[in-house]
Amino acid sequence: MLKFHWIYRDFIKANNICNDESMWVDSIIKIYFKVHWKLLNDIHFTPKGFSSKKEILSKIDQLGKCYYNNLLLELEKAEEFEDKIIELAENILNKFGEVVIDKDIYIIVGLGVSNIYSIEHTGQEITVICLESVKDDISKIRFLLSHECHHWLRQSLMKNNIFESCIGERLTTEGLASLFTAQLYPGFKTSEYCYVPQETVEWVVKNKVEIAEKIVDNLKYNDLSNPLFSRYPHKQINNNMPKRSGYVFGFLKAEEYSKRLGENAVELVGVKWEKMFSASS
């Protein structure tokens, strides 16, 4: 069963009761941040690299209301939005047949540093959706949800953590999730399915053979996860490799494998990463 936590509501409340734009940040701090401080610190601020309250407050002050204006306009009818999110998630999960997924989903407004991610909280893995990532097109939340739904189903079939066991698994997991979104909502660019700039896609397409050669001996390990997937990599596989190139490489690999087998991302949800990266594939 999916359980939604609509934390973002107090962000909207803080905005709506503030009539003086010069006091907007203060209103957000008082009505949104302070009310949910421990939760937001545990599931967003600290995991995303904000080490102090001063740093967090400085970031929201830097972004200001203008950063969130389009999102606020999109969320004027919050109840309708929430009903659509619930229905959307249920419809996506139905693509996998009769499955039961127990998941807590926290809908927040964050600091513009992420879109959707899983994290451990109070002893269980939860999903966090950052609404500011969709900005002026709330319909794009369907991309985030479909991507994450595929992760939920895949994790339910795997014994190991699909994000931390090794890069072979991570590439397969992210690639298939992006492919699922592409097959569910065709007609968009690869960059939109992988959440990277178009330049990153072009670079990976041009250099995918070199990437494959550099990672082939490390697929069973997790050492290269940071340079392949992090927004803030502390090391690189290639000096010119764009950030988060692993998402594109995984997508291209999954797409090739799907076409070769004639199976879609739903049918491949439980495929072992070793099969996708075997020499015959």
Please report the pLDDT score of residue 43 as a whole number.
97
Q: What is the C-alpha separation between 131 and 123, in angstroms, rounded?
A: 24
Angle at 90 between CA 84 and CA 95, to 5 degrees: 125
Nearest to 60 by CA among 82, 76, 40, 38: 40
Q: Could you report the per-residue pLDDT of 26-45, keeping only the tens digit for each?
A: 999 999 999 999 999 999 99
pTM of the model: 0.91
- Is pLDDT at 78 greater than 90 in this prediction? no
CA-atom Rg of the chain in angstroms: 19
pLDDT of 209 > 70? The answer is yes
Q: Can you tell me whether residue 250 is helix, strand or coil?
A: helix
CA 81/CA 133 separation, integer angstroms: 16
| Contact in structure between 257 and 268 (CB atoms under 8 Å) | yes
pLDDT value of residue 77 = 76
| Span 248-271, average pLDDT | 97
